[in-house]
Structure 1
Amino acid sequence: QSGARINISEGTCPERIVTITGPTDAIFKAFSMIALKFEEDINASMTNSSVTSKPPVTLRLVVPASQCGSLIGKGGSKIKEIRESTGAQVQVAGDMLPNSTERAVTISGTPDAIIQCVKQICVVMLESPPKGATIPYRPKPASAPIIFAGGQAFTIQGQYAIPHPDLTKLHQLAMQHPPFTPLGQTTPGFPGLDATTPTSSHELTIPNDLIGCIIGRQGSKINEIRQMSGAQIKIANATEGSAERQVTITGSPANISLAQYLINAR
């Protein structure tokens, strides 16, 4: 109906990318139909629900990081102009998506506001083409559950526990170098490595609709990840109008890597 060509990435991943190509009018028509479909789903989910306030329609665009500066504008002037003229909420992620040179741009609002916002974003992107090569974001397939037992890591596949040697090494390294040693205690030595492993912090953003899977019931999952990885993990409070939450991981490189792996595996 839109005249656009639409491709949806494979369904084995928790996230799927919808690629829309064609003339600009066809692209805008396709976005409009997608936004209206999302609104229909929201209305249907509110039937017989105790929720009184209707949530906005939310789309996440994937934009080359080299174009995000033009989209934000000097001192945030361009993104402010887009917000004010369309009535949509627009947020550009601070970090690039995993293993890519692209960033997520989250748009929230009514279907009309979203389509006007997409039009303005397309104009900016046409005026400011990407610089250099773009490494596209490829969502990861859903990972098998992971357990740690007897110092070993295993992935669960059906009825079997499959040893995971690389993750076992990372887990052992993370436990050898806890980032925060209690006062008066020393960190045990690890052959070939400096016992005073420096700590650092890494930030990532998690969509609001996935944060519950990471926190778990009464914080059970996030506490499990903290214990397994040895990292400190802080989840920022939800902010009004934002579709994502900021997560800060602090620890040694091994602590951070293991914590990221476990979070992505959720």
Structure 2
Amino acid sequence: MREESGARINISEGTCPERIVTITGPTDAIFKAFSMIALKFEEDINASMTNSSVTSKPPVTLRLVVPASQCGSLIGKGGSKIKEIRESTGAQVQVAGDMLPNSTERAVTISGTPDAIIQCVKQICVVMLESPPKGATIPYRPKPASAPIIFAGGQAFTIQGQYAIPHPDLTKLHQLAMQHPPFTPLGQTTPGFPGLDATTPTSSHELTIPNDLIGCIIGRQGSKINEIRQMSGAQIKIANATEGSAERQVTITGSPANISLAQYLINAR
């Protein structure tokens, strides 16, 4: 694909459910690479249909990652631009309302026949060339799939679909946290914490967390931090950002076991 199109094609590393393909080069090289990718997906769909009972052929679907500051131009006034792209190419185009996790980019999902998709991307590229992104873009980096965790009856379970699957490793950690407070969180090698005595009923521990990671610990409208508070039974306070500092202070208060568990959950996030 690189040789035939003349475009630079990179695929992000990692064992994530999603990986990002970045295509760079002059517009015609991008379209060439893009058509080759779309046709490859079409081949895959055809191959998977030969031994399946499905009669209607699913469309080729791709998610583009677009800086949020360019999405307004793509949608157009009152949705006029996106409507025009849909009508002239015959492809389905949807711009996500929310930004992708920990980034300033949004997903634009396009689906249809390879031809419709290629025409659609041409038009999207034209819009993006006409209105460059404003401000700095924080790129979306897919994270490895992490299933939600539930602690019940001294056991840890991960949620997969509608089922709770017992998770032996997390159960062990959970039990360790209860027996040997406080256990060392990931990334710290000093055994125990100075000044923290396991016999005191409540104590508090401070962590510093980089500003760019604080969002994934707080979660949407505080959903994640509340989950961590509930699961660990500890009180967790996040200090407001101080000017010029790249970190936020987090204070965890509770029994040593609660603190250990809260720290473990924060590290896991």
**Any gaps of 5 or more consecutive residues in structure 2?**
none
TM-aligned CA distance change 1:209 to 1:184, over 3 Å = closer
Please tell me whether the aligned partners of residues 178 and 251 of structure 1 are also in contact (alpha carbons under 8 angstroms): no
Cα deviation for residue 64 of structure 1 reads 0.4
Conservation of the 8 A alpha-carbon contact between 1:145 and 1:265: no
2:142 and 2:102 mapped to 1: Cα distance? 10
When structure 1 is superposed on structure 2, of 37-46 and 162-171 the one drifting more is: 162-171
Q: CA 1:191–1:181 in 2, change beyond 3 Å: closer, same or farther?
A: closer
* Counterpart contact for 1:189–1:195, Cα < 8 Å: no
- Residues 96-135 of structure 1 correspond to what in structure 2 (within 5 A)? 96-135=99-138
Q: Which stretch of the first structure deviates more once superposed, 212-221 or 14-23? A: 212-221
Query: How has the CA–CA distance of structure 1 residues 133 and 146 changed in structure 2, closer, same or farther, with 3 Å as cutoff?
Result: same
User: Corresponding residue for 1:154?
Assistant: 157
Which deviates further from its counterpart, 112-121 or 203-212? 203-212
1:21-76, Cα deviation, whole Å (9 max, x unpaired): 01111000001000000000000000121100000000100000000000000000
Deviation at 1:204, TM superposition (A): 29
**More moved, 6-15 vs 240-249:** 240-249
Deviation at 1:146, TM superposition (A): 3.9
Q: 1:185 to 1:250 in 2, by over 3 A?
A: same
- Cα distance, 1:234–1:37 mapped onto 2, change above 3 Å: farther
Structure number with the bigger relative contact order (C-alpha 8 A, sep ≥ 6) is: 1
Q: Distance in 1 between matches of 2:262 and 2:50?
A: 38
TM-score normalised by the chain length of structure 2: 0.58
Q: After superposition, where does 1:36-185 map in structure 2 within 5 Å? A: 36-143=39-146, 146-150=149-153
Relative to structure 1, the CA distance from residue 17 to residue 147 in structure 2 (aligned partners, 3 Å threshold; closer, same or farther) is same
> Greater CA deviation, 73-82 or 140-149?
140-149
Greater shift in the superposed pair: 33-42 or 178-187: 178-187
1:229 CA displacement: 12
% identical equivalent positions = 100
Segment drifting more, 94-103 vs 172-181 = 172-181
Q: How many residues align structurally? A: 266
Backbone CA RMSD of aligned residues: 13.3
Distance in structure 1 (CA, Å) of the matches to 2:142 and 2:47: 28
Structure 1: 4+ residue segments shifted above 6 A? 154-266
Structure 1 residues 33 and 261, CA, compared in 2 at 3 Å: closer, same or farther? farther
Of residues 39-48 and 238-247 in structure 1, the stretch that sits farther from structure 2 once superposed is 238-247
Counterpart CA distance in 1 for 2:71 and 2:179 is 40
